[in-house]
Amino acid sequence: MKINLLNYTLEQLGEYFESIGEKKFRAKQVFRWMHVYGVSTFEEMTDIAKSLRSKLQELAEISVPELVTEKIASDGVYKWALAVGNGNKIETVFIPDGERGTLCISSQVGCALECQFCSTARQGFNRNLTAGEIVGQLWWANKRLGKDPKGEKLITNVVMMGMGEPLANYENVIKAMQIMLDDNAYNLSKKKLTLSTSGIVPALDKLGRDCPVALAVSLHASNNEVRDKIIPLNKKYPIEELLSACKRYLANSPKDYVTFEYVMLKGVNDDLIYAEELIKLVRGIECKFNLIPFNPFPNSGFESSSRNQIMKFQKILQNGGLITTIRKTRGEDIDAACGQLVGRVMDKTKRQEKWGVIHLVN
């Protein structure tokens, strides 16, 4: 079986080349051909000796996810469904915004965390993506989008916020991010590569040591009672432990703040008393809040907070000294908005039967 070279960091590729009797420096040439120039065949690598190209053709491949469908929203957002073998699909979203272009990348097929308000979790968990399948989404998107009139790539930022919990697929996500950061590949800065997590505390501590990038934390509640209901992981790593880990992470973070994501759920976590609780909760942590209007999907059991309630919630946080933004919903008409990826699927977890419509506050 051929190996997929997209799974290798530059250092690992060098070791592989040595193992097949080739000079280590050849690895950098091949690495650049794959990631900088976006080639998918060895024949395209014109400055590589034919003998090496033939050897690689026998032993290896450059395998990227295959396009299943492409949808373009009315606001210019792209959503691609990509096949990753055995009938599995993932979704990748590109969000243009002026000179900024953000690619939202998936790390797993499905998700095992069962966050109650996320459509991806509804399909259950199938498997982790390989490093090649993760970075292959960036490879594919660069190829599809091309460059702007000035010759610059349209993707300026990458967020690990697609399907799955990145820290639950730690080794493959780290390898993929190392490739994205490599000067000989996509040359992203650590400030423009963001990992979003629901809060696997031991893995978050490890991330701070191994590959610190910009951090976004799916907080979504101001106390354990509410968070236990909507994010089951909180029962294992409660808010106090998570926030302590955030403080530790800031010592190595490329940014001097953590972004706390807070999806606004009517009657669940949007009472204004919770905004007051948040101010006290995050005291001593450099942070910003991103309030996210809930994006509906079939049989979710939730409703979005009203615009008026979200703005009141924002005002309280701002008056408490917290930088707070309201995320603009993008790509909603093609189910590409936050929490909507692969939303129209069978509810494998039967959560609707288990929970019904959740209302904690009248």
Which listed residue (91, 114, 133, 165) is catalytic? Answer: 91
Q: Which of the residues 104, 115, 118, 338 is marked catalytic?
A: 338
Q: What is the DSSP string of 124-160?
A: -EEEEPPHHHHHHHHHHHHHHH-B-TTS-BS--EEEE
Q: Is 165 a catalytic residue?
A: no
Q: Give me the half-sphere count of Cα atoms (radius 13 Å) on the Cβ side of residue 169.
A: 31
For residues 220, 221, 226, 229, the Cα torsion angle rounded to the nearest 10 degrees is 20
Q: Cα–Cα distance between 310 and 312 in angstroms, integer? A: 5
CA distance 115 to 117: 6
Closest among 294, 293, 275 to 343, alpha carbons compared: 294
Distance CA 304, CA 294 (A): 5
For 229-277, the DSSP string reads HH-GGGGTS-HHHHHHHHHHHTTT-SSSSEEEEEEEBTTTT--HHHHHH
CA atoms within 13 A on the CB side of 127: 11
If you ran DSSP here, which 8-state letter would residue 362 be given? -
Catalytic residues: 91, 338
